[in-house]
Structure 1
């Protein structure tokens, strides 16, 4: 049994990933950005556990799930640097961390209370800060998107401060950054298995109703990398549906990786060592 943290796990792919791992007997810690979302998660989990106990064949595991206490939930708004740093310092140790939390393309450029462009802060800077501050796990998984293939590695303007705003391009860039972060961690921490996953176009609030794939498909590869041995015991790879893919070539560029880490360190005041 592994102790696993899934960020952004109150709904969508994150919730599906956390529930699947929990159902397989792992000690899963959820993450919510606010007390309100944590409370809502507790309610939905109680209903989910009751339904699981009613619909599945009786077993010791199902009985334990139905009787389980409230889910363990860590709270921290990843659009707030102070909260993100506090989460990283207090979350504790895990065998596996799945950086699932993220936001989609924004219709206009918005900055957070820290003065940082919101897409970059939530999708890139937050997983960087958590990675740098938390005890090193055995495995780290960064969720990306197939749109990383059209991401642009622009170290001179990561936050669209000078170039015209394009929400989907900023999102695509952030997903390229996530793959580069996964590869940089794999290179710098050889004892940690660090990989990136494209979950596919999944029908969620983020993916929208026209998406092509269902939730279980969106969680499958993260669950495999988090909890299985054999072919899952790799590092510095980019997967979709357990298939090892070639990412945007910029993700392998050591100059870009190091520049991204340096930019994140300067913005956050936290250095990944």
Structure 2
């Protein structure tokens, strides 16, 4: 392999370019050449000592491929692009090893298996990074979708959008309790207008949040229970042991009344087109 390394590199690069490796614009030709040359040197060094990918001789190659796969996953490369990057090396390697008479069939077969394992390695690293990115994005979206809003002195609102699961309930609870502690709120309105469905599990998550808020000294009101959700909860036998209101406005009015406050109209609204007297 050492005597044909330059030929293998050029053939590998040609295969990658023919498959569109440079068309996406995510990587330039010079960078691709440097990456391929470095990996090829590490592959040659490992094969000089062993044919087992788990051997210490292949440690630099394994680390380099894992880092490369993770980097490309974050850059938005597709699984096909990652797999093609490795498997396009197969043909140049086979051609170099079978060139001339008396080539070693067993060595060629072992090299093919080695490249296959390299392909699995990069795909596993790629998938692992993609899953980490997805989990991080889900956490960020969950945090952004659970804002705690101060409606009035001592009154908070927590509008929920989307499905409630155990992980998101934990984020909701933490945000609400932190806001209650910081603002010294005594009332919290949990609005579920944006929650598509409420089943037994969702109700349990809501009750946990209400119970945690009560331990912090804040009473809760649940608002936004639509007729369809109310019917579903009745059929399921779900009972929310907390005051509920149809709309956020109704819940806000109730919270104000519990504080001895209310909303009143200061003056009669003006008729359309009526103007105020001057002077």
> What band does the TM-score fall into relative to the shorter chain?
under 0.3
> Which structure is richer in relative contact order (CA contacts within 8 A, separation 6 or more)?
1
CA radius of gyration, larger in: 2
TM-score (norm 2): 0.24
Structure with more of its chain in helix, by fraction: 2
TM-score (norm 1): 0.24
